[in-house]
Each structure stands twice: as C-alpha cells, then as structure tokens.
Amino acid sequence: MSSDPAIQFRHVTKEYHVENAVLGGLKNLVLHLPTQIRAMRARKPFCALQDLSLEIAQGESLSVIGRNGAGKSTLLGLIAGVLRPSAGTVVTRGRICPLLELGAGFHADLTGRENIVLNGILLGLTRREVLARLDEIIDFSGLAQFVDRPLRTYSSGMTARLGFSVAVHLSPNILLVDEALAVGDLEFQQKCLARMQQFRSDAVTMVFVSHDMESVARVSDRVAWMDGGRLREIGPPQQVIEHYHAFVHPTVAAA
C-alpha cells in the first residue's frame, strides 16, 4: 500500500444556506415581526467549516472534540460523502463505514434483522455477504431477543447498538463514529471501545467524535479540537484534551 493519507482536506469550507429553513412556510411569516424577517433574509449563508486543511494517515485514529455546533458532524459528513464542500476538496481512500446520526438509514417498520440486511447492502455488501455475517452481527448487538421486532419498538440505545454492530462487521478501511456510543449503556460502550482498539491495531483508519474524554484518550493517536468551524488545535491526545478542558472550565484549570 502507498503512504498516501486515508483522508485529505484541502482548504475545505462548508456553508449551509439557512434562509429557507428559517423562513419555511407562511406560519413563520405570520408569527415573526417584519423586522425580524428582514434580518433573517439578510443573513449570509452559515459557515459551519472554514478553510480546513487536514490529513489523516492510513491506520491513524483521530478523535474530534469541541462544543456543540463546532462543526464536528459536518466534518464527518464530508468524509462520508453525504455532504459536499462549498469550497476546497476532500479526498478519501478506502471503504468507508459511516456510523453517523443515530438511526440514519434505518426504517422504523422493518425488524432489527431486516434493518441489518438493508444497512449492510446500503453500505456496500451483497445480500449473501450480509447473510453470512448476520449471526455474528446479532450476537455482537446483544439484541437476539428483539431482533424480529420492528425497530420502532427499540429504544435509542438499542438502535445505536444495531448501527454499531453492523458498521463494525463490514471490514471497513475507514470507520467514522459520531457520538453513537453516547446513548448505549456502559457495557456496550466498553465493548465498542474494545472493538475500536482492535481496529486500531488492525490499522483501520478511524475518526471518532465524542464528548467522553476518557474514551477519546483511549482510542486516539491524535486529537483535533474544533471550535466555530475551525481547527483550533491538533496534536497528542493528552495535550489537546488538557487545553480543551482549560478552555471549557477556565476556573477549574486555574485552581
């Protein structure tokens, strides 16, 4: 294999156009004062990611931290290819397994088992390949008793279990995990972290978004701290986590 990076961002900017969403429908026109409407209409596209350049090496495990709205999910969406950059380029190499928003790609009326098959196919396996791994996936999820019930009867934690179980059984080259573990119980979280450690030693490239600094420290080679759509710092996990903590809790750090 070459030493080309697995993921490469070159001067990437992502803007969202919010006018329509904000003004959506007559109801808003009626409910808002005219001056507010004018202010909203005048608003420029919202810049969620600004001139970001970043390389993630093959086999590297990068965690992304930062406050809500910092641009973390946007970054993952661009890697997964579900979002397009407004400017700049994103290059990826290898098969990507995205574990993005909770339940994305799942259907409430299908059973857990049917959803596994559907997701496996959506993520690039043949039906035969998914069926060959079905037992293993169900076993990992710990949902054997529930797997023939419709997904709408699942809790958010159970849905996350299913999603993670599918993603980790697809032999990814690049695994993307966006806060998906947060809703799982502790036991499942530990199991997922162990699986991620294994991926790490198997040189799978990982990008992990989490607010749990303990997990972040455990699974990453580097940590990227995002703030306001920019990369504020990228470097060794302990160092970046420390700086982030000092930023979020300045008084605690000073004490």
Partner touching 69 among ligand ADP, Mg ion, none, CB below 5 to 8 Å by kind: ligand ADP
C-alpha to C-alpha distance for 157 and 102, rounded to whole angstroms: 9
Angle formed by the axes of helices 186-201 and 156-168, nearest 10°: 20
Q: Where on the chain is the footprint of Mg ion (CB under 5 A)?
A: 72-73
Residue 16 near ligand ADP by CB under 6 A: yes
Which position among 7, 12, 48, 100 is part of the footprint of ligand ADP (CB under 6 A)?
48
The residue number whose beta carbon is nearest to Mg ion equals: 73
Q: Is 41:199 a contact under the CB 8 Å cutoff?
A: no
C-alpha to C-alpha distance for 71 and 41, rounded to whole angstroms: 23
Please tell me the count of residues contacting ligand ADP according to CB under 6 A.
Answer: 12
Residue 43 is encoded by which pair of tokens? 């608003």
CB-based contacts of 213, cutoff 8 Å, min separation 6 = 65, 241, 244, 245
Residue 66 near ligand ADP by CB under 6 A: yes
Stretch that binds ligand ADP, among 29-37, 69-77, 126-134, 181-189 (CB under 6 A): 69-77
Residue 73 near ligand ADP by CB under 6 A: yes
Partner touching 71 among Mg ion, ligand ADP, none, CB below 5 to 8 Å by kind: ligand ADP
Residue 112 near ligand ADP by CB under 6 A: no
Partner touching 66 among ligand ADP, Mg ion, none, CB below 5 to 8 Å by kind: ligand ADP
C-alpha to C-alpha distance for 75 and 13, rounded to whole angstroms: 10
Phi and psi angles of residue 163, each rounded to the nearest 5 degrees, phi first: -60, -45
Residue 18 near ligand ADP by CB under 6 A: yes
CA distances from 27 to 21, 23, 54, 89, 102 (A): 12, 9, 42, 38, 29
Which of residues 16 and 31 has its CB atom nearest to ligand ADP in the complex? 16
Please state the closest distance from residue 251 (CB atom) to Mg ion, in A.
27
Chain positions contacting ligand ADP, by CB under 6 A:
16, 18, 46, 48, 66, 68-74
